[in-house]
Structure 1
Amino acid sequence: MLKFIFKRFGRLFLVLFGASIVSYALVVHSGDPLQDLRESTDADAEYQMELRAQQLNLALPWTDQYYLPWYERYWDWLVGVLGCLDPTDRIIGPCDWGTTVNGGDVTAQIANAAQVSLRLVLIATLLAIVLGVLTGIVSAMRQYSVFDYSMSFVMFLFWSLPLFWAAVIAKEYLAIRYNNWMADPHFTAGNIFAVALLLAVVVPTVIGGGPRRRVATGVVMFIYTCTVMPFLDHIHFMEQPRLGTGFIAVAAVMLAVGFTALIAGMQNLKVLYCGLAVAVLGVVSYFLTWDLMRGAQSYLLPLGLFALTLVICVAIGRLFGGYAKGQATAVTLLTGVLTSGIILLDHYMYTWPGLLSVKPRPIRTVGASTPNLRADDFWIISLDHLSQLWLPTLVMMLTSLATYTRYTRSSMLEVVQQDFIRTARAKGVTERTVVLKHAFRNAMIPLATLVAFDFAGLVGGAIIVERVFAWNSMGTMFITGLSNVDPAPVMAVIIFTGGIAVIFNFIADILYAVLDPRIRV
């Protein structure tokens, strides 16, 4: 296995090296970086040309020639980038990604731009994987049902959406019109009827069952929505939202019971008790850590508490799970993580009125954050970042969601028709075990490679989305550098995103080897 890992890891560097050579040559030959100055009528145009030539490493001091061979410029750039691998700055030299035509430091620019773009791409990828895989599995298990046909239609619709068009539509309806509605956030009778009718159709489709069951579920959802929405309007929920202790407690218990039924079965009481113990601890921690969380000054405290939650969940599952400690650990982890997410959501809901007080139009359509936001509270600043992040994330997630859903469905349908699945069912193995333990693992093998390619595609799509939402990140760096025939910022974006893509591909190769040991040969 180690030989396999080292061999794949070595190919990673060869791919990056080859991509960097080709990309640098293409950027350098894409135009004339001095074209605007050659056509300039300024008296000091020649002096500006000399300065830019020196910044781009174009000038030869002892001749009148302006251009070095591209491979010499590439070598100078490569030595500076490899210096980032030298912590002493003595063997190779200092880390230097170069400078822009305007004299800007590319190292500082890529550091700032990367955190913005990665935050967008990583969240969109994770959400698309989780939701897409779950939807694909359910569609495969309920093949040719109303749910399957509905999901196929919706996913093909998402798949065919032009990214720039979806971004513009989301910007108009989910940002601009939502901000207008927040000036007087009240549900009209038409709003209530439309939402109730939509849920009366969607929820029965998801739950499934016979015609009578779907009709009964639809009627219950219609009545429930027509009752709850006026109540939420009466208590001004859209301006002062809260989940409350009761909702968190019920949700935590439902998560524990649901994951136990899904993973181990309700007859396994030890697993059920472990899940319920985590649910109770989650509700208790909600009270004990409230003041501590409200005083947080950075993400370190929430992340530290989340890490502690993971440790406690694993400990409970391993110590009290009995012979099913693996299943118990899975149940406790899923229950603990989602309960923590619900608690975090309640904290952000508590902060929502504070954000509205300093930002009456909560979702800006320009930028990754609100400039000059008059707030020194961590929760308000964090919520502002999330309010700017969710719309681009949603747009990017939709296309990837369709991809993961369709691939998961096809892979699951192929696996469940194989001999070992029929043998497991013939031996009396429960359908839950057949799907989760045998079919699911084998169906995930093709998706391991898909994640790597999809992530690279999302990075490219992020450039378009960032332009629509006016984010100053890697997309802006790439387009500006390419327009100015400036290789330093363009290469910084290419190497950074390409490096992440090949790392994801490397992880996919390792997952392949873990899921199917025959690949190691």
Structure 2
Amino acid sequence: MVMFFVRRLLTSSLVVLVSTFVMYVLVSIAIDPLADLRTSTAQNKEQLIEQRRQLLQLDESVFHRYFDWLGGAAGCVVGQCDLGSNWQTNQQVSDLLSGAILTTLQLVSLATVLAILIGVFVGIVSALRQYSGFDYSITFVSFLLYSLPTFWVAVLLKQFLAIGFNDFLADPSIAWWFYVVCVLLAGVTLMAALGGTATNRLRNFAIAGGATLAVLLYVELTDFISNPTLGIVGVAVLSIGAALCVTILSTGLGDRRSLYAALTVAGLGIALYQPMRFFWYYAGASWPIVIGMGLLAVVVGGLVGFLWGGPDRSTVVRTAALTALPVAFLLFIDRLFSTWDVYVNHVRIGGRPISTSGRRTPNFDGNFWMQTLDLFGHLLLPTLTLTLISFAAYTRYARASTLEVLNQDYIRTARAKGLTERTVIMRHAFRNALIPLASIVPVDIITLIGGAVITERIFGWRGMGFLFVDSLGKNVIDPIMAYLLVVAILAVVANFVADLVYAVLDPRIRVNA
């Protein structure tokens, strides 16, 4: 194993070195730092050109300049990083890069997680309903979203979701046709996804349609749109629902210990509803505290599962710990909603919370909860844009992989032994269906971290993609090379992570060191 790591480290270092050299040469050919001076009418034009030549070492060969840059970049290994500077603004590239990476991570993290989770889930369901109306519909929607240009999706979201919804908030009344469309869409979707006999289909349609109608009526009657709040009743209902859903996916409702452990976690969340409000009031809030409380919730959930015990204690612990995440999230969202009215009516927001540009509202001040709402309002549109495009690809990957696994002999053997369909899918098919995705997901994540160039441009986020395009347009090589260095390192790391994920998902894969 040690030799495997050493070999991968050496080969990866060589790949990064060669790729940065090639890109340095290509970028040096592509840009012209003297472009603005060549067309200058200044009397000291030649003197200015000579000064810039000396500043940027343009009289030196490209090989000399590359190794000079490489010497500064190699200092990052020992904590003395020197990636150069933007000669136009005199800003250090390391400072520009740190801000750009943080911005891009904020932009793409949620979109990536949502695209993977939703895409894989819908793809697996589509494979289980192969050649059904649901499968054909998902295939059509996937290809449609996959073929849509990013800028076009972004413009549509700006017009109809941001501008339209902000206008709607001035007089939030739901039209009757919206009720009909939502009820029919929810009923048909669940009916097609679950399948079964005609009686089962009608029952599923009625359940989904009735639940959707009840939610819409609750939203209308409680004025949830203008003043959103979950309350202890909402947290209770959603926590119990989350416990049931997690148990169904993890072990099935037949495993009573797992079910009781999940419901116990939901009960703890309900009991902590009011104490958590006092906690946030007196202890204050920040992202480290929020993340720490989320980790604590998982630990407590695992402890609850451990105390319930049973012959298969690990599955009980897993189910309880997974249930703790949505329960803790609901408590966080309820506290966040309590600031909605103050946030929307803030003078800088002006009743239009969904933003179409930028990372933050200029000159906006407020506590942690208001700042978080502001961040979410700016994240909504770019997150939806990236999620819709990526969702389509993951759906197709998951569907194809699941169909291949379902046709294997061991799946037929598992069904012939009398195992339930949930056990066959979740314990045997699902894990193996993820193996092909292991080589796709890490690389896609790294690609997004490298910058969503078009999305960042359209929504005004100054992330990695914006830094690259802006520096290329201004003929500044050091930020470009810093960007390419980060992307190159992340690319080899992604491939290494993919190998490790392969070994975790498939015990048959072993490293031959």
The TM-score with structure 2 as length reference comes to 0.92
Cα 1:518–1:224 change in 2 (3 A) is closer
Distance (whole Å) between structure 2 residues aligned to residue 494 and residue 135 of structure 1: 34
Indicate the residue corresponding to 2:67 in structure 1: 75
Distance (whole Å) between structure 1 residues aligned to residue 316 and residue 285 of structure 2: 35
Shift of 1:396: 0.9
Which of 165, 175, 187 is the equivalent residue of 2:152? 165
Which of 341, 355, 360 is the equivalent residue of 1:364? 355
Distance (whole Å) between structure 1 residues aligned to residue 256 and residue 24 of structure 2: 61
Answer yes or no: is 1:344 the counterpart of 2:335: no
CA displacement 1:46-84 (0-9 Å, x = unmatched): 4443443344333xxxxxxxx211111111111112212
Cα 1:439–1:191 change in 2 (3 A) is closer
Indicate the residue corresponding to 2:52 in structure 1: 52
Number of matched pairs: 506
RMSD: 2.2
Which of 464, 473, 489 is the equivalent residue of 2:463? 473
> Map of 1:368-517 to 2, 5 A cutoff?
368-373=359-364, 375-459=365-449, 462-516=452-506, 517=508
Q: Which amino acid aligns with 1:364?
A: S
- Which shows bigger deviation, 8-17 or 148-157? 8-17
Which of 317, 321, 327 is the equivalent residue of 2:309? 321
Q: Which amino acid aligns with 1:292?
A: F
Shift of 1:326: 2.0
CA contact (8 A) 2:119 2:395 kept: yes
Which of 96, 119, 141 is the equivalent residue of 1:109? 96
CA contact (8 A) 1:356 1:362 kept: yes
SS of structure 2 residue aligned to 1:183: coil
Q: Which amino acid aligns with 1:455?
A: I
Distance (whole Å) between structure 2 residues aligned to residue 20 and residue 288 of structure 1: 54
CA contact (8 A) 1:481 1:489 kept: yes
Q: Which amino acid aligns with 2:455?
A: V
Percent identical residues: 40
CA displacement 1:381-417 (0-9 Å, x = unmatched): 1110111112111111122211111111111111121
Distance (whole Å) between structure 1 residues aligned to residue 15 and residue 330 of structure 2: 42
Cα 1:474–1:222 change in 2 (3 A) is same
Distance (whole Å) between structure 2 residues aligned to residue 222 and residue 325 of structure 1: 38
Which of 90, 98, 107 is the equivalent residue of 2:84? 98
Distance (whole Å) between structure 2 residues aligned to residue 170 and residue 196 of structure 1: 23
> Structure 1: any 5+ residue segments left out of the alignment?
59-66, 88-93
- Which shows bigger deviation, 414-423 or 378-387? 414-423
Answer yes or no: is 1:16 the counterpart of 2:16: yes
Q: Which amino acid aligns with 2:371?
A: I
CA contact (8 A) 1:278 1:313 kept: yes
Cα 1:184–1:402 change in 2 (3 A) is same
Distance (whole Å) between structure 2 residues aligned to residue 346 and residue 9 of structure 1: 46
Q: Which amino acid aligns with 1:328?
A: V
Distance (whole Å) between structure 2 residues aligned to residue 306 and residue 54 of structure 1: 54
- Which shows bigger deviation, 295-304 or 327-336? 295-304
Indicate the residue corresponding to 1:61 in structure 2: none
CA contact (8 A) 1:137 1:412 kept: yes
Shift of 1:109: 0.8
Cα 1:97–1:461 change in 2 (3 A) is closer
Distance (whole Å) between structure 2 residues aligned to residue 221 and residue 160 of structure 1: 30
CA contact (8 A) 2:439 2:498 kept: yes
SS of structure 2 residue aligned to 1:242: coil
- Which shows bigger deviation, 248-257 or 377-386? 248-257
CA displacement 1:353-380 (0-9 Å, x = unmatched): 121011121122111111111x321110
SS of structure 2 residue aligned to 1:518: coil
Distance (whole Å) between structure 2 residues aligned to residue 171 and residue 121 of structure 1: 18
Distance (whole Å) between structure 2 residues aligned to residue 222 and residue 406 of structure 1: 28
Which of 243, 249, 253 is the equivalent residue of 1:266? 253
Distance (whole Å) between structure 2 residues aligned to residue 450 and residue 133 of structure 1: 12
Distance (whole Å) between structure 2 residues aligned to residue 68 and residue 120 of structure 1: 39
Cα 1:3–1:275 change in 2 (3 A) is farther
